[in-house]
Structure 1
Amino acid sequence: MATVLSILFAGLGQLYNRRFLKGIVFIVVEAAFLITLANFVVNGVWGAITLGETPREDHSIILLIEGIIAFIVIGFALTAYIFNIIDARRNAKDLQLGKKIPTVRQQVIDAYNSSFPYMLITPGLIMLVFVVVLPLAFMLALAFADYSLYNAPPRKLLNWVGFENFTKLFTEDIWRESFVNVFSWTIIWTFVATTLQIALGLFLAILVNDKRIKFKRTIRTVLILPWAVPAFVTILIFAAMFNDTFGAINNDILSQFGVAIPWLTDATWTRVALILIQTWLGFPFLFALFTGVLQSIPSDMYEAADVDGGSRLQKFRFITFPHIMFATAPLLIMQYAQNFNNFNIIYLFNEGGPAVRGQNAGGSDILISWVYKQTFEYNQYSMAAAITIIMGLIVSIFAFFQFRRTAAYKEEGEM
């Protein structure tokens, strides 16, 4: 009976169980929801489904956002409603077992003690939903609509087009060629640039950590200096240095050998320059990270290896490298994920250029810079959302499987 009453209206089951304070709270909450938000929820769901019916009067984007908010509100309401039913049923079972009904004062104390952590979490959770979940849901929705420069509200209404935007990426020539080139360069860029900066940081850390090296503090300070300079400043300086016409690299260095490289006008050389710059930007952090790990490795292990006749390569392979990977593998994976979406260096250096004939992406564009151009330069909002979904899936799948394989996420006894 308590379960049925709670289904009919929140709080009735609690009143039936003589939990009067809790029942009144549930009744007030549901009544307030029905009075204040019922109309908004109904209109929001209608707007999300139809995206409007009258051009210039209905704004599809506003209706879509209101619809997403309505579904979020429905989610919160259903959660509270289900909790109300479960609570009423649990209290009814306690009464059947002969448990004493607590007084109102005891109910307040019990509710405070049991719900205090949730009271602290709830504001942050609500903020997280509207700051993170709402934009993500909006982006997901746009990927299945036809929002573009030539079909923009309120002059026109949006329509749901299903997977048409994803199909364009693989069927239409300009989109297919652009996507294949950008995606392949993104993978190469992520792997080569990140691996080079990791290799350089590891090599320098091992070299400086050698007992025969003197002035270690000075050397470490100098090697970490590139990290102290803001990245965008360094990128802009390098962009000037690599300039084809007045750059110092062509005019002052390569000119001595009679060579002039088109760093900014040839896609291949632009990519080479970007990889070199990212290696310079990324190695100081990894150098500092590896240095800390190397200093934490017990010297007894190296002494034992010397007694056993181990070579430098063997000590690196069986002692140094496993310790470094155990401590830093998650951070190294994040380095790959960060470079996969490294918008700053791509856009600040050459704005993703140079232009490529027959494509709507530049020769050095990666997926994130291509999405930026589709959004703010070409106003292809739905296509940009579709590409973003693909990017998110790639990064999520890669990070998920790599994190699960790292020893840092396993028990030490399972290594």
Structure 2
Amino acid sequence: MSNDRHDESQSSNQRKNHNPKIALILSLLFAGLGQLYNKRYVKGIAFIILELAFIVTFKDFIHLGLWGISTLGTIPGTDHSIFLLVYGLVSIILLAFVITFYVFNVRDAYKQAQLIKKGWEAPTFKESVKEGYDKSFPYLLTAPGLVLVIFTVVFPLMFAISLAFTNYDLYNSPPRNLVEWVGFQNFVNLVTVPLWRSTFISVFSWTIIWTLVATSLQIALGLFLAVLVNDARIKFKKTIRTILILPWAVPGFVSILIFAAMFNDQFGAINRDIMEPLFGVSLPWLTDPFYTRIVLIMIQTWLGYPFIFALFSGVLQSISKDWYEAAEVDGASRWQKFRNITLPHVLFATAPLLIIQYTTNFNNFNIIYLFNQGGPAVRGQSAGGTDILISWVYSLTFETSNYSMAAAISLIIGLMVSIFAIFQFRKTSSFKEEGKR
């Protein structure tokens, strides 16, 4: 009995003398040492093996990557600046994984040391495995997806952002020449150099007009047709709905190419069979930016309204007829019922999707490029008369090889869309109501 009491007293003294700060310092010096100090031998050895394996495998690669991303090479013809930039970004991602692992290692060692000091008894190996599996199971399932997202979304985004701060273009293209870091010079040139400034202002203005007008028109047309077809006096509703949704059934690029042929200045059906016989004029649909922009807005309205029509039709079916009957009893007119019942209900239910329509059209590359490749050309500008920001980026990238400026404009596009979306979502009533539930 006295020996048992002596052992218990000695064990209690050891736990009281167990110092969490020592575990913290050891885990900072090398992953796993803090766990060994806590007598968590399996976990400690596993952490040590992981760190040693990382050092042996990636030490040289990370050294090259960090050197490469800081210098982008020093010997033209030998060092490839873009490869070095890629190595550097991958190295940063790997270091982020290591830092996350190290933070977990330090916190684990320190917290367990505190528990041991308070008298906590470590579970058996079998219990530890079961507990660890239960806690880590969700992370094990999501880890592959997280890694995939990092290397397919985050990494390309980091690469594009990095290019925006370099001078990577046709004249500074590796391996013959080195790429250099230029800071915010591309953004400064965008607002100070006359050619870039005039082009940016023109393209940006048209992008805003295009987004607001084309999207608002397709929403207005979709709402008008949905309300009209939903009227109780309309017969053959299913047939009418089917006909109105037909433009949505045809692939968008096919419709755009057909419209491009129809509006051709020389042989298009619009000029040849409609404008000339009826009005005696032939309009420059593809050679005058003003007319081309009008046509693009009309085509986008045609292509976009079926989705809005189908969306609003479904919402209108959910509005109770009792509301309209009560409004009629109160003497409300058709306009008052629409303004006070139909419109608020529809907008509340569809606001997030309508916001997405605006952000989608802001970057609607397909129609701009397929209809007229962003043309016609405009004197004194490096973009076409109907180019929006995203199609201008495409032209800078694949036609003039001005990669750094294209990346800078892409960064501006991303910031604008993100700010707009976040602001609108926060102001949307449906999201406010969702947050209160």
Normalising by structure 2, we get a TM-score of 0.94
Query: Offset at 1:96?
Result: 1.2
1:293 paired residue number:
315
Task: Give the one of 122, 132, 157 matched to 1:111.
Answer: 132
**Structure 1 residue 6 and structure 2 residue 27: aligned?**
yes
5+ residue gaps, structure 1, are none
Write the distance in 1 (CA, Å) between the matches of 2:351 and 2:433.
15
Query: Offset at 1:300?
Result: 1.0
Query: Offset at 1:412?
Result: 6.3
Task: Give the one of 324, 348, 358 matched to 1:302.
Answer: 324
Query: Offset at 1:309?
Result: 1.0
Task: Give the one of 400, 403, 406 matched to 1:384.
Answer: 406
SS in 1 for 2:380: coil
Deviations 1:288-344 (A, max 9, x none): 000000001111111111111111111111111111111100000000000000000
Moved more, 232-241 or 35-44: 35-44
Write the distance in 2 (CA, Å) between the matches of 1:147 and 1:22.
47
Task: Give the one of 369, 383, 386 matched to 1:361.
Answer: 383
**Structure 1 residue 100 and structure 2 residue 92: aligned?**
no
Query: Offset at 1:408?
Result: 1.4
Query: Offset at 1:283?
Result: 0.2
1:266 paired residue number:
288
1:196 paired residue number:
217
SS in 2 for 1:314: helix
Query: Offset at 1:56?
Result: 1.0
Write the distance in 1 (CA, Å) between the matches of 2:416 and 2:433.
27
5+ residue gaps, structure 2, are 1-21
- Paired AA for residue 336 in structure 1: Y
Task: Give the one of 336, 340, 343 matched to 2:362.
Answer: 340
Moved more, 148-157 or 251-260: 251-260
Query: Offset at 1:21?
Result: 1.6
Query: Offset at 1:257?
Result: 1.3
Query: Offset at 1:99?
Result: 1.3
1:244 paired residue number:
265
SS in 2 for 1:411: helix
Deviations 1:49-88 (A, max 9, x none): 0000111110000000010000000000000001000000
Write the distance in 1 (CA, Å) between the matches of 2:420 and 2:435.
25
Task: Give the one of 24, 34, 39 matched to 2:55.
Answer: 34
- Paired AA for residue 53 in structure 2: A
Write the distance in 2 (CA, Å) between the matches of 1:230 and 1:148.
35
Query: Offset at 1:414?
Result: 6.8
1:58 paired residue number:
79
- Paired AA for residue 41 in structure 2: F
2:251 paired residue number:
230
- Paired AA for residue 255 in structure 2: T
- The two structures, once aligned, show a CA RMSD in angstroms of 1.1
- Paired AA for residue 360 in structure 1: S
Write the distance in 2 (CA, Å) between the matches of 1:242 and 1:414.
51
- Paired AA for residue 35 in structure 2: Q
1:181 paired residue number:
202
SS in 1 for 2:181: coil
2:14 paired residue number:
none
Structure with max Cα Rg: 2
- Paired AA for residue 10 in structure 1: A
1:137 paired residue number:
158
1:221 paired residue number:
242
Write the distance in 2 (CA, Å) between the matches of 1:12 and 1:100.
19
SS in 2 for 1:22: helix
1:313 paired residue number:
335
Write the distance in 1 (CA, Å) between the matches of 2:40 and 2:429.
51
Write the distance in 2 (CA, Å) between the matches of 1:107 and 1:275.
64
Normalising by structure 1, we get a TM-score of 0.99
SS in 1 for 2:170: coil
- Percent identical among aligned pairs is 64
Write the distance in 1 (CA, Å) between the matches of 2:428 and 2:338.
19
Write the distance in 2 (CA, Å) between the matches of 1:92 and 1:297.
61
- Paired AA for residue 113 in structure 1: D
